[in-house]
Structure 1
Amino acid sequence: MIIETLYTHFLKCTTVCTDTRKIEKDCLFFALRGDKFNGNKFAGQALESGAKYCVVDEKEYAVDARYILVEDVLDTLQHLATYHRAQLKIPILALTGSNGKTTTKELIHAVLSKKYTTTATQGNLNNHIGVPLTLLQMNERTEIGIVEMGANHPKEIELLCSIALPDYGLITNFGKAHLEGFGSLDGVIKAKSELYDYLTKHQKIIFVNDNDPIQVKQTLNSPKVFKFGMLTSTGATLELIKSQPYVTLNYNGTEVKSQLAGTYNFNNIAVAIAVGSYFEVNHEAIINAIEQYTPTSNRSQILHKKSNTVIMDAYNANPTSMLAALENFKQLLQENKMVFLGDMFELGQTAESEHQGIVDYLETHPLGQAYLIGKNFYKTEVNTDAILKFETFEDLKAYLRRTKIENAFLLIKGSRGMALERILEIL
Structure 2
Amino acid sequence: MLNLTPRDLELITLGELIGDVTHVDSLARAVIDSRHIGTDDVFFAFKGEKVDGHAFLQAASDNGAALAVVEQRQSNIGLPQLVVDDCQKAMARIALHRRKQFSGVLMSMTGSCGKTTTKGMLVSILRQRGKTDATEGNLNNELGVPLTLMNMDASSDYFVVEMGAAERGDIRYLMQIAQPDITAITNIGTAHIGRFGSREAIAETKAEIFAELQEDHKAAINLDDAYASDWLELLADKKVHSLTFSQQYDTADLLARDIVSSFESIQFTLCYQEQTKAVKLPATGRHNVSNALCAAAMAILAGCSLDDVATGLAEFVPVAGRLAPLKGSWGGPLLDDSYNANPGSVQAAIDVLCQFDARRWLVLGDMAELGGYTESAHQDIGEYARSAGVDELVAFGEQSNHTLAGYFAASASTDKKTGRAFTDHDKLVAFLRQTLQPGDAVLVKGSRSSAMEKVVEPLLITKVSD
- Bin of the TM-score, shorter chain as denominator length: over 0.9
Unaligned runs of 5+ in 2: 1-9, 460-466
Are 2:184 and 2:298, in contact at CA under 8 Å, matched by a contact in 1? Answer: no
Question: For the Cα contact (< 8 Å) 1:62–1:68, is it kept in 2?
Answer: no
Q: 1:359 to 1:139 in 2, by over 3 A?
A: closer
Could you say which residue in structure 1 is the equivalent of 2:225? 212
Q: What does the per-residue CA deviation read over 1:374-417, in whole Å, with 9 as the maximum and x for residues that have no partner?
A: 21122342345524131413342342353343221112221122
Aligned to 1:319: 343
Which secondary structure does the structure 1 equivalent of 2:142 belong to?
coil
SS at match of 1:107: helix
What SS does the corresponding residue of 2:224 show, helix, strand or coil? coil
Matches within 5 A, 1:25-424: 25-61=39-75, 66-199=80-213, 204-222=217-235, 223-224=239-240, 225-230=242-247, 231=249, 235-245=253-263, 246-252=265-271, 253-306=276-329, 307-330=331-354, 332-380=355-403, 381=405, 382-383=408-409, 386-394=417-425, 395-424=427-456
Measured in 2, the distance between the counterparts of 1:11 and 1:105 equals 34
Q: Deviations over 1:252-301 (max 9, x none)?
A: 32221111111110010111222222222243332121111121221121
Q: 1:63: Cα distance to partner?
A: 5.7
Letter in 2 for 1:338: W
The separation in 2 between residues aligned to 1:334 and 1:81, in whole angstroms, is 51
CA distance in 2, matches of 1:419, 1:183: 25
Amino acid in the other structure paired with 1:311: L
Question: Which whole-Å CA distance do the structure 1 matches of 2:341 and 2:157 have between them?
Answer: 33
TM-score (norm 2): 0.85
Which range is displaced more, 98-107 or 267-276?
267-276
> Using a 3 Å threshold, how does the CA distance of structure 1 residues 50 and 91 change in structure 2: closer, same or farther?
same
- Work out the percentage of aligned pairs sharing the same amino acid: 29
Worse-superposed segment, 354-363 or 103-112: 354-363
Q: 2:28 corresponds to which residue?
A: 14
Stretches of structure 1 that go unaligned for 5 or more consecutive residues are none
Tell me the TM-score normalized by structure 1. 0.92
Answer whether contact 1:154 1:181 (CA < 8 A) is retained.
no
Task: Say which SS state the counterpart of residue 358 (structure 2) adopts.
Answer: coil
Deviation larger for 347-356 or 294-303 = 294-303
Q: Is the 8 A contact 1:400 1:426 kept in 2?
A: no
Residue type at the aligned position of 2:255: T
CA distance in 2 between partners of 1:269 and 1:15 (Å): 32
CA distance in 2 between partners of 1:311 and 1:41 (Å): 42
* Matched residue count: 425
